[in-house]
Structure 1
């Protein structure tokens, strides 16, 4: 069995990653929003310079797949014309910001997000771990609590802005004018005090926060809505099987409205109250495909041992409401790092079964061939 390679960083536009189907080029809009021109442009470039497939990520970005050495420069030129490329690879790597998709014009979120993103771009010489990130969760209640981030900007129970380190229940009050500097200072504290990977792990290891971050009330604990297709005051949220869509679909969506990327591998159609009639988008909250996570699998991923998507489509109708299925092409579990009701992990001769665990489980229940799994799919969820 081949040794898995954990790279510890995500692909970017200026730092693509090689996979089984070519280069992966990640696009990170400045505030997580694509204008209609930008969305249409990405669709065109993904078709002309890639294989026509686009992945939505858990970091509220999108990835153009299947780019070649011959088409890469043309793609980057096109993305620069759309104002979707950072000044340098280092600036791109620092600018890991996830913005609540439910912001509304006039609530200040877009301006705060743009200010933080541009400040991170400008922090020359400042290096953060590859997956260290910021969550701007400044709606009336937080919706990004389950999303990976290290520094969270939220509102406390009185509606005041709060800069909170992930892993701590307390933080520091900030204003729109002080937010950026406070967040960057907290990131600098993380680095100078020996933080290596993530903020929560650093605090769990005993790091003592600066006093400014230990005296405020907790942010709101209002129940977080489930990330399923629905209509909100900001627009309509639509899903895609396994977070992947075709370039032609993105182009069709771009004709309707600007788009906001979400960390749930969905898109929010800004200002819309009804989803367009497209065959390959998910608009029902009860669609069984929403209960299934599946990575690209073989041959699209060079580390995957078996194909995943065909099996995921076949098993989706058998996943009961309230349960979840994760099919992973290897033990890294990129598509769903957390536990699922049932996780199937590709091995050289079949899929190992994990119940109520993730793909990195130390031991597996047993191994099944795809044919065996399809003979009695209901048995997986008994």
Structure 2
């Protein structure tokens, strides 16, 4: 089995620094505020067809990436993205701008975090000393609204607490609490924490890639002190409902939205163009991206929900919260990824009904093309990890954890899940 260091080959792609896959370059667009106009979405769809292989992906950080770009077409793609205002001046500025905010920010949350997110992005770009942050190091700002981001993986999170009018601050996957701050303090606090992370990391035997590395490495207290924050508290575990599936008609008070999910995050350029058309015709010309690999159209008329469901279903989207595909995560696998040896999407489709029987609520199964676990870098009830055309099964763990069963064909994996569901 490959070591963690070997699995780290590659990087988080951007547009300025795309990553090579088996099907071409992957160019990731960090969409500020995870909000697109219908005109911009339509232009991106056109670029995906002209400069890539016509395939796009919604990522778990509410970004949008284009696949199959060739080196020869990359300059033209960058020129188009620059015209659309979607890329940064250089790769370093692009890489540091990892800020995720609530999908419906400014529409129905308890605090409008849109300007805060934009200010933090701008501050990170200006703070050139922070351009050495690891590529995956990220920030999250949750507005306390109905579509909570609290369970999403990040390094530094700010969650609004309405009674106090402040944002609680927590670090790492386990959300270690280090006090709170006022809304106007978020940018300064975030920069101090990031600088403390780099400073503490310099003294560690191996430079940390995520906040969790500092926590497990015993540097949390020093980091908090360097950032001027209160001493870390025990793990803060607020209620964590099953990951939402924002599909179909969504009603939040007076606001009506429609959500549609791309199966396993993959959508064609034509599907993206269909989203743009629906946003223009049935919404307010605005598209919100989510970390759940779904898009949301705000401001739709509730009486048009059935027509929208039929439209998005015909375009290839998931529109029912009962769809078993929502309970499965899968990376591109073969043939898209150089490490892939199994057709993960097809295998995930075959196993989705059985996984849904075993775990009817939330995500049940992660089908990973290798131990890197790109589609879900965290625990899942069932995780199948591919190697050499076969799968290892991990129970209640991640793609890098020790398996309970090894070297399963798809048929053997299906039979094993069937046996588990029958007991």
Paired residue secondary structure (1:154)? strand
Match of 1:213 in 2: 229
Of residues 245, 250, 267, the one that matches 1:228 is 245
1:152 is aligned to 2:157: yes
Residue in structure 2 matching 1:261, options 289, 305, 310: 289
Per-residue CA deviation, residues 169-202 of structure 1 (Å, 9 max, x unaligned), is 23232232x3212211221122122272222432
SS where residue 80 of structure 1 aligns?
helix
1:25 to 21, 24, 27: 27
Conserved? CA contact 1:55–1:243, under 8 Å: yes
TM-score, normalization by structure 1: 0.91
For residues 9 and 350 of structure 2, what CA distance do their matches in structure 1 show?
A: 31
Of residues 169, 173, 177, the one that matches 1:169 is 177
Distance 1:309 1:380, change over 3 A: farther
Could you list the runs of 5+ residues in structure 1 that have no partner in the other structure?
none
Higher relative contact order (CA 8 A, sep 6+): 1
Distance in structure 2 (CA, Å) of the matches to 1:227 and 1:49: 34
**Counterparts of 2:288 and 2:75, CA distance in 1:** 26
Q: Are 2:246 and 1:246 equivalent residues in the alignment?
A: no
Contact 2:395 2:403 in 1 (8 A): no
- Which residue does 1:198 correspond to in 2? 210
After TM superposition, the structure 1 stretch with the greater mean CA deviation from structure 2, 32-41 or 329-338, is 329-338
Deviations 1:122-148 (A, max 9, x none): 112322111111101123478122212
What TM-score does the superposition give when structure 2 sets the normalisation length? 0.82
Unaligned 5+ runs, structure 2: 203-207, 280-285
More deviation in 306-315 or 139-148? 139-148
What SS does structure 2 have at the residue aligned with 1:164? strand
CA contact (8 A) 2:144 2:162 kept: no
Q: In 2, are the aligned partners of 1:171 and 1:212 still within 8 Å (CA)?
A: no
Distance across 2 between alignment mates of 1:90 and 1:285: 39
In structure 2, C-alpha distance between the alignment counterparts of 1:102 and 1:149, rounded to whole Å = 19
Structure 2 distance, partners of 1:352, 1:216, is: 37
Q: Deviations over 1:257-306 (max 9, x none)?
A: 21111111111212235345222111111100011111101110001122
1:102 has 2:104 as partner: yes
When structure 1 is superposed on structure 2, of 215-224 and 136-145 the one drifting more is 215-224
State yes or no: 1:129 paired with 2:151: no
Aligned to 1:337: 377
Count of matched residue pairs: 381
Query: What is the CA-CA distance between 1:225 and the residue it aligns to?
Result: 6.3
**SS class of match (2:167):** strand
Larger relative helix fraction: 2
Equivalences for residues 51-70 of structure 1 within 5 A: 51-70=53-72
Q: Does structure 2 conserve the Cα–Cα contact (< 8 Å) formed by 1:172 and 1:214?
A: no
Match in the other structure for 1:112? 116
CA shift, 1:65, in A, is 0.6
Instruction: Give distance in 2, aligned partners of 1:144 and 1:377.
Output: 30
